């Protein structure tokens, strides 16, 4: 398993980048809530994962997300564009 990001304050969903040697693209696994208080950190993790590979390809695992508001959706759409 990859390294857990510890840069986020408590309560912010953690992004877990997958081991790059195991996969062809990074996987961002998110747990908790994606809302106005956590969306910016989530967006930063997505940007980091997108910058990892060219052309960009990222898998986002939202299976452990309990709630996502429009702020979280905005970050997903921004990363997609």
Render pLDDT for 12-33 as a digit per residue (tens, 0 to 9).
455 555 555 455 777 888 889 9
pLDDT digits (tens, 9 = 90+) for 43-70: 998 888 888 877 778 888 899 999 999 9
Q: What is the pTM of this model?
A: 0.66
Structure tokens at 67: 């709630």
Dihedral over Cα of 26, 30, 36, 41: its sign: negative
State the Cα–Cα distance between residues 71 and 54, nearest whole angstrom: 26
Instruction: Report residue 75 as tokens.
Output: 């970050």
Compute the distance between CA of residue 78 and CA of residue 2 in angstroms, rounded to an integer. Answer: 24
The structure tokens listed for 34 are 């994606």
Q: Is the Cβ–Cβ distance between 64 and 30 less than 8 Å?
A: yes
From 3.40.50.10210, 3.90.1640.30, 3.40.630.30, 3.30.750.24, which CATH number describes the 16-80 domain? 3.30.750.24
- pLDDT, mean over the chain: 76
């Amino acid at each position: 398993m990859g390294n857990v990001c510890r840069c986020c304050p408590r309560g912010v969903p953690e992004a877990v980048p997958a081991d790059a040697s195991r996969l062809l693209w990074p996987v961002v696994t998110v747990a908790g809530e994606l809302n106005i208080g956590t969306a910016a950190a989530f967006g930063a993790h997505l940007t980091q994962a997108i910058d990892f590979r060219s052309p960009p390809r990222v898998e986002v695992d939202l299976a452990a997300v309990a709630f996502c508001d429009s702020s979280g959706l905005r970050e997903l759409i921004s990363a997609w564009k």
